[in-house]
Amino acid sequence: MSNKNFDTCVSFHIHNGAFAGRLVRLNDVLQDIFKRHDYPVNVSAALSETTALAVLLANALKYKGLFTLQIQGNGPVSLLVADVTSEGKVRASAKFDEEKLEKAKALRKTEDEIEEVPHLVGGGYMAFTIDQGPETELYQGVVDLQGKNLTELALRYFKQSEQIDTILKLFVKRPQGESQSWQAAGVLLQKVPVKGGKEFSEDEELLNEVWNEAAVFIGSLSADEIFNADLSSQEILYRLFHAHKLEIGKEKRYEFGCRCNRDKLFSTLSGFSKDEIEEMSEDGKITATCGFCSEKYVFDKTELLKH
């Protein structure tokens, strides 16, 4: 199901620009990610949610290059990674241990439940990286994995590292029927920092009131509403915030896109030692598979050894 209301992120402000928000809804992006992999249900759910969060965060940043959200841990799922270019290309990938996943599944009480990201990933960290090219400094923010779901992990980061008041709600919907894809969505709202340390004086009480109301409204947003393909994101925002001086901003489209290429892989592989290359080769060939798009690249052993 391709739908113009999905695979976009819409920015908005409420209350005269005091609070800035984003609303994301993904369908085709996820479909394109998952058709390249054979992930178990829990891994797909966790990666869908991670991808929605990555797009929300990337969209809220001013950058030219690559934004990466990476969650790494010692649990059954050892890695969830999603990256988003400033041009709107998204890719995502997961690493997991099937045996550990099965064991964890056996311990669960309900059969059909989707497991939360921290349960799957275990102890570890979540990192945000912004890479704007070789001439620039790499930005990285890191937070340890404490919280009962992905939302709590992200909120902890904003509280600890950025000290920005944030409201966040994420949604995941599993495929219903043959032709349908995983869907993920989310809403992010943040207090816009006041310039020059100036404090909101007489308005502070009102601001807090509006903030608390916005939290209640976002909390009340249902999965049925946000995944309703007949509703545009703008309509959803209007339903939520029309009483709060809503200003709807830009809508940006996102699509799946992988940045792997033969030359990059070749230079990586030619960095290995002769013994390692011998070890990896089969019938004189080395096959490397991209972890994001599953594209297979075949190299000649002798070609690699020349370098």
**Residues whose CB is less than 8 angstroms from the CB of residue 306 and which lie 6 or more positions away in sequence, other chains included:** none
Cβ proximity to Zn ion: between 41 and 79 the closer is 79
- With tokens 């990555």, the residue in question is 54
Cβ proximity to Zn ion: between 27 and 93 the closer is 93
Cβ proximity to Zn ion: between 19 and 292 the closer is 292
Cβ proximity to Zn ion: between 36 and 100 the closer is 36
Instruction: Measure the CA–CA gap between 229 and 224, rounded to whole angstroms.
Output: 9
* Contact set for Zn ion, span 239-258 (CB under 5 A): 258
Candidate residues 39, 96, 256, 292; the one interacting with Zn ion per rule CB under 5 A:
292
The helix, strand and coil proportions of the chain, stated in percent and rounded to the nearest 5, come to 35, 30, 35
> With binding defined as CB under 5 A, does residue 237 bind Zn ion?
no
Cβ proximity to Zn ion: between 114 and 260 the closer is 260
Instruction: Measure the CA–CA gap between 210 and 207, rounded to whole angstroms.
Output: 5
Helices 41-59 and 150-157, axial angle in degrees (round to 10) = 30
Q: Which 3-state string (H, E, C) describes 45-99?
A: HHHHHHHHHHHHHHHCCCCCCEEEEEEEECCCEEEEEEEEECCCEEEEEEEECHH
Q: How far is the CB of 28 from Zn ion (least distance, A)?
A: 17
DSSP strand pairing (89-96 vs 255-256):
parallel
> With binding defined as CB under 5 A, does residue 217 bind Zn ion?
no
> With binding defined as CB under 5 A, does residue 33 bind Zn ion?
no
Q: How far is the CB of 224 from Zn ion (least distance, A)?
A: 35
φ, ψ dihedrals at 161, nearest 5°? -90, -40
* Contact set for Zn ion, span 97-116 (CB under 5 A): none
Q: How far is the CB of 130 from Zn ion (least distance, A)?
A: 21
> With binding defined as CB under 5 A, does residue 66 bind Zn ion?
no
Cβ proximity to Zn ion: between 60 and 260 the closer is 260
DSSP strand pairing (77-85 vs 89-96):
antiparallel
Token duo for residue 143:
């937070």
Q: How far is the CB of 96 from Zn ion (least distance, A)?
A: 19
Please give the torsion angle defined by the CA atoms of residues 11, 27, 141 and 188, in that order, rounded to the nearest 10 degrees: 40
Candidate residues 58, 81, 104, 290; the one interacting with Zn ion per rule CB under 5 A:
290
Please give the torsion angle defined by the CA atoms of residues 289, 141, 22 and 18, in that order, rounded to the nearest 10 degrees: -170
> With binding defined as CB under 5 A, does residue 293 bind Zn ion?
yes
Q: How far is the CB of 294 from Zn ion (least distance, A)?
A: 7
Q: How far is the CB of 113 from Zn ion (least distance, A)?
A: 32
CB contact at 8 A, 83 and 63? no
Cβ proximity to Zn ion: between 89 and 245 the closer is 89
User: Where does this chain touch Zn ion (CB under 5 A) — which range of 27-35, 49-57, 176-184, 289-297?
Assistant: 289-297
Candidate residues 41, 260, 265, 280; the one interacting with Zn ion per rule CB under 5 A:
260
Residues that bind Zn ion (rule: CB under 5 A) add up to a total of 6
> With binding defined as CB under 5 A, does residue 265 bind Zn ion?
no
Q: How far is the CB of 293 from Zn ion (least distance, A)?
A: 3
Token duo for residue 35:
């058709």
Q: How far is the CB of 84 from Zn ion (least distance, A)?
A: 15
Q: Which residues bind Zn ion (CB under 5 A)?
A: 258, 260, 290, 292-293, 295
